[in-house]
């Protein structure tokens, strides 16, 4: 393994770990596929899809979490040792609302993990960068492990890392659009510069999109709509699982360059072979 | 610029010559139906659909968009009528001041009792409805304060208020307001509202903006189908919604399509809307506004509701009573309108689960309520 191999660089910069494992905060994840729980037809379908995905990181909208109920079919069927259930603040319009939601969730017994989704504009559900940064800083100081959902903005990603976020979650394309990694160039820059895990979130409509994100060097992908609204959510969840694994392997173990023209075997081969050593 | 100027000047000018009839040169329906993207100028073409095969395509598109944006979730709420007194004389309404019948204004204790009944049935999202100009703002504040800890989502459908009054309600735990323009046709509006504060067309049309300026996060608008030509009505409703979404970009706007139901009073709609046209309207709005929740109440039949929750509708009421005290206190008092879908909450939830849909009773959280 040479010193320029990307896996070695990540090994040095992101902690002393097996390159196949993902560490966020102080928790280690074997699976690099994260799953959202919106839009499913039923709780039982959701649970089967999560199982098929192999995911260990599952997000739930706080607006749908029922803290008053002792009987929650979803929570009762999730193994808390294997799966980290992370509330998200979807629908929060500003930092005050997001922080309030996070604190209420914690008071009701949720662990101090929060996916910050500050999406004041309901049409495209794009994240508000300013309020996200404000909320992130507040919640990190209160001891939360904060994962902010953001536009693919490399500067914002660094600012969030600086205030103590345990990961950043740039969107591939807007939520629910299934358009893939349209923000490719910005995500590449984020990945290059980040000292925390980068989870590509939103817009991953096909397993190939997730594989592509992983090939770029993303540490994980989060998928919701594409699984929940599929004809067969269980099969598609499994397909995404395989795609994420393939994309990760491709990133770690394949290093190919692209050319604009066909390449015959090198015209320099004979010359090089005959060089004295 | 406010709604009134926008709709009567800018929007109207954009509709060419200010004459709806001149827009009868509809683009070919099939050309529009197979577009990738839509805008308001396509609405009249979509509303001109008369053939079953075209409606089928429209419904397919509407279903696909609904699934992609909302998944299979259907949000459930219930209305709670607190008063059938009203100072208006809307000619189409059961609460019309001139209708001679027993009137009821529920006390706070009675309201809480009715709310408890609904809460015990599983309802977490409540719409408080009242005849207009009956209760003072203090009373509305008291109602919100009494109910907001038991319900995750609380909305009002009452008379238009001032910004400061909406702000007071927001700080008392109100999450949303529903306000129907009834009709965008100013001349007909005046005919239908002969007396009472509701006569003020402009004040009413600008109400969604006052609600937004008071920072209330959820606003539902609509027009009462049957009061004027539906194509013209829907064109202006679409224009109004588009304007509001763009101007108040951080507010959740939703849309509802109440259809005149006057079984309980002596009024006959001059512009009745058939089921075919009604379905067409809902599907057209879904593809024009893919992210906007669409409400459908129990005015409509079980069969129509069961179909339309697949083709655009995302929020429905269940087990509704439109007479104050009708859930737990009294029987057979004056209703605003008769309901068609008389199924109970459990029956509707059961139907959805059997048909691969996910009924959602909680779709908001008290955590969003921040005093400002």
Phi, psi of A186 (to 5 degrees): -70, -40
pLDDT of residue A255: 66
User: To the nearest 10°, the Cα dihedral for A42, A44, A50, A53?
Assistant: -100
pLDDT of residue B8: 76
Contacts of A70 (CB under 8 A, 6+ apart): none
CA atoms of B184 and B239, how far apart (whole Å): 11
CA atoms of A57 and A164, how far apart (whole Å): 20
pLDDT range class, residue B334, cuts 50, 70, 90: low
Q: Is A39–B363 a contact, with Cβ atoms under 8 angstroms apart?
A: no
pLDDT of residue A15: 43
At B287, list the tokens. Answer: 């593809």
Question: What pairing do the DSSP bridges indicate for beta strands A199-201 and A220-223?
Answer: parallel
What is the average per-residue pLDDT within B249-266? Answer: 86
- HEC string for chain A: CCCCCHHHHHHHHCCCCCCCCEEECCEEECCCEEEECCCCCCHHHHHHHHHHHCCCEEEEEHHHCCCCCCCCHHHHCCCCCCCEEEEECCCECCHHHHHHHHHHHHHCCCCCEEEECECCCCCCCCCCHHHHHHHHHHHHHCCCEEEEEECCCHHHHHHHHHHCCCCEEEECCCCCCCCCCCCHHHHHHHHHHCCCCEEEECCCCCHHHHHHHHHHCCCEEEECHHHHCCCCHHHHHHHHHHHHHHHHHHHHHCCCCCCCCCCCCCCCHHHHHCCCC
The continuous run of DSSP H or E covering B52 comes out as helix B52-70
Q: Would you say A74 and B360 are in contact if contact means Cβ atoms under 8 Å apart? A: no
The residue that leads in pLDDT, B321 or A165, is A165
pLDDT range class, residue B31, cuts 50, 70, 90: confident
- The CA distances from residue B358 to B121, B279, B315, B353, in Å, are 17, 22, 12, 6
What is the average per-residue pLDDT within B145-152? Answer: 94
Long-range CB pairs of A150-157, under 8 A, 24+ apart, other chains included: A151/A126, A151/A127, A151/A183, A152/A183, A152/A186, A152/A187, A152/A190, A153/A129, A153/A186, A153/A190, A154/A186, A154/A189, A154/A190, A154/A193, A156/A129, A156/A132, A157/A190, A157/A193, A157/A194, A157/A198
Q: Above 0.85 for ipTM, yes or no?
A: no
pLDDT of residue B33: 87
**Residues in chain B, overall count:** 372
Query: Which of B39, B71, B249 is the best residue to mutate to test the A interface, defined by the most A CB atoms within 10 Å of its own CB?
Result: B71
pLDDT of residue B99: 86
pLDDT of residue A65: 82
pLDDT of residue A98: 96
Q: Give residue-wise pLDDT tens across range B80-111.
A: 999 988 999 999 988 888 888 888 999 999 99
CA atoms of B83 and B159, how far apart (whole Å): 12
Q: Is B370–A100 a contact, with Cβ atoms under 8 angstroms apart?
A: yes
What is the average per-residue pLDDT within B29-47? Answer: 86
DSSP, res B225? B
Residue numbers in chain A where pLDDT is lower than 70? 1-20, 67-72, 255-260, 263-273, 276-277
Q: Would you say B216 and B176 are in contact if contact means Cβ atoms under 8 Å apart? A: yes
pLDDT of residue A269: 62
Q: Would you say A204 and A170 are in contact if contact means Cβ atoms under 8 Å apart? A: no
Catalytic residue among A115, A158, A255, A277: A115
pLDDT at B26 over 90: no
pLDDT of residue B303: 93
**Residues in chain A, overall count:** 277
Cβ burial, residue A36 (10 Å; 0-12/13-18/19+): buried
Q: Is A93–B217 a contact, with Cβ atoms under 8 angstroms apart?
A: yes
A115 is catalytic: yes
High-pLDDT (> 70) share of chain B, % = 93
Q: Answer positive or negative: Cα dihedral of B267, B273, B276, B279.
A: negative
The residue that leads in pLDDT, A17 or B158, is B158
| Minimal Cβ distance to B362: which of A66, A93, A225 | A66
A225 contacts in B (CB within 8 Å)? 68, 71
Residues in A whose CB is inside 8 Å of some CB of B read 38-43, 62-66, 91-93, 96-97, 100-101, 104-105, 120-125, 176, 178, 225, 228-229
CA atoms of B153 and B147, how far apart (whole Å): 10
Q: Is A120–B69 a contact, with Cβ atoms under 8 angstroms apart?
A: no
pLDDT at B276 over 80: yes
How many contacts (CB atoms, under 8 Å) link A and B?
80
Give the residue among B122, B132, B130 at the shortest CA–CA distance from B155: B130
How many CB atoms sit inside 10 A of residue A180's CB? 19
Q: Answer positive or negative: Cα dihedral of B246, B248, B252, B253.
A: negative
> In A195-218, which positions are buried (b, 16+ CB within 10 angstroms) versus exposed (e)?
ebbbbbbbbbbbbbbbbbbbbbbb
Query: Which of A37, A38, A62, A63 is the best residue to mutate to test the B interface, defined by the most B CB atoms within 10 Å of its own CB?
Result: A63
Q: Would you say A219 and A192 are in contact if contact means Cβ atoms under 8 Å apart? A: no
Contacts of A141 (CB under 8 A, 6+ apart): A164
Q: Is B72–A176 a contact, with Cβ atoms under 8 angstroms apart?
A: no
Give the residue among B166, B329, B168 at the shortest CA–CA distance from B251: B166
CA atoms of B19 and A58, how far apart (whole Å): 54
High-pLDDT (> 90) share of chain B, % = 71
pLDDT of residue A11: 46
pLDDT of residue A52: 97
Provide the H-helix boundaries in B71-107. Answer: none
Q: Would you say B122 and B150 are in contact if contact means Cβ atoms under 8 Å apart? A: no
- The CA distances from residue B151 to A62, A269, B26, B158, in Å, are 15, 76, 46, 19
pLDDT range class, residue B189, cuts 50, 70, 90: very high
The residue that leads in pLDDT, B190 or A270, is B190
Q: What is residue B146's three-state secondary structure?
A: helix
Choice among A72-76, B15-19, B209-213, B224-228 with the minimum mean pLDDT: B15-19
At B250, list the tokens. Answer: 């951080």
CA atoms of B142 and B367, how far apart (whole Å): 20
């Amino acid at each position: 393994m040479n010193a320029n191999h990307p896996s070695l660089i990540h090994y040095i910069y992101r902690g002393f770990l097996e390159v196949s494992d993902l560490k966020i905060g102080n928790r280690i994840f074997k699976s690099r596929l994260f799953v959202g729980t919106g839009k499913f037809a039923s709780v039982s379908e959701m649970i089967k899809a999560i199982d098929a995905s192999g995911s260990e990181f599952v997000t739930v909208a706080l607006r749908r979490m029922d803290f008053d109920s002792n009987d929650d079919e979803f929570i009762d069927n999730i193994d808390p040792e294997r799966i980290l259930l992370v509330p998200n603040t979807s629908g929060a319009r500003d930092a005050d609302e997001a922080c309030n939601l996070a604190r209420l969730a914690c008071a009701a017994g949720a662990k101090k993990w929060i996916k910050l989704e500050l999406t004041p504009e309901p049409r495209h559900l794009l994240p508000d960068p300013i309020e996200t940064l404000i909320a992130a800083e507040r919640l990190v100081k209160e001891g939360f492990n904060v994962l902010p959902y953001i536009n693919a903005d490399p500067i914002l990603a660094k600012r969030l890392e600086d205030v103590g976020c345990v990961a950043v979650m740039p969107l591939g394309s807007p939520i629910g659009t299934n358009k893939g990694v349209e923000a490719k160039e910005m995500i590449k820059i984020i990945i290059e510069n980040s000292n925390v895990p980068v989870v590509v979130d939103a817009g991953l409509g096909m397993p190939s999109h997730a594989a592509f994100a992983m090939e770029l060097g993303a540490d994980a992908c989060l998928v919701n709509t594409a699984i929940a609204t599929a004809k067969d959510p269980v099969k598609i969840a499994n397909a995404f699982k395989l795609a994420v694994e393939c994309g990760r392997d491709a990133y770690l173990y394949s290093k190919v360059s692209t050319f604009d023209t066909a390449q015959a075997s090198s015209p320099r081969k004979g010359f090089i072979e005959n060089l004295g050593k | 610029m406010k709604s009134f100027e926008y709709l009567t000047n800018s929007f109207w000018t954009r509709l060419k010559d200010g004459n709806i009839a001149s827009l009868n040169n509809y683009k070919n329906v099939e050309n529009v139906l197979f577009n990738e993207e839509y805008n308001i100028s396509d609405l009249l073409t979509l509303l001109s659909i008369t053939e079953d095969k075209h409606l089928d395509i429209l419904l397919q598109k509407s279903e696909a968009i609904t699934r992609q944006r909302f998944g299979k979730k259907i949000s459930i709420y219930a209305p709670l009528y607190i008063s059938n007194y009203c100072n208006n004389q809307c000619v189409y309404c059961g609460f019309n001041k001139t209708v001679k019948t027993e009137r009821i204004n529920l006390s706070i204790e009675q309201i809480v009792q009715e709310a408890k009944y609904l809460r015990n049935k599983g309802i977490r999202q409540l719409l408080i409805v009242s005849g207009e100009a009956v209760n003072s703002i203090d009373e509305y504040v008291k109602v919100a304060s009494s109910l907001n800890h038991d319900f995750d989502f609380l909305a009002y459908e009452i008379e238009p208020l001032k910004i400061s009054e909406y702000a007071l309600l927001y700080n008392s735990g109100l999450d949303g307001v529903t306000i129907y323009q009834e009709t965008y046709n100013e001349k007909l509006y005046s005919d239908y509202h002969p007396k009472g504060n509701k006569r003020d067309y402009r004040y009413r049309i600008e109400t969604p903006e006052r609600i937004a300026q008071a920072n209330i996060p959820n606003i539902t608008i609509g027009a009462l189908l049957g009061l004027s030509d539906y194509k013209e009505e829907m064109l202006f409703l679409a224009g109004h919604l588009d304007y509001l979404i763009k101007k108040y970009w951080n507010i959740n706007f939703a849309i509802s399509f109440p259809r005149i139901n006057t079984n309980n009073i002596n009024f006959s709609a001059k512009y009745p809307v058939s089921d075919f046209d009604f379905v067409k309207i809902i599907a057209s709005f879904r593809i024009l506004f893919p992210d906007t929740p669409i409400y459908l109440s129990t005015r409509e039949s079980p069969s129509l509701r069961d179909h339309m929750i697949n083709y655009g509708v995302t929020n429905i009421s269940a087990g509704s009573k439109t007479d104050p005290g009708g859930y737990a206190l009294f029987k057979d008092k004056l209703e605003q309108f008769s309901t068609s879908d008389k199924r109970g909450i459990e029956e509707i939830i059961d139907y959805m689960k059997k048909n691969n849909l996910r009924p959602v009773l909680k779709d908001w959280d008290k955590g969003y309520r921040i005093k400002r």
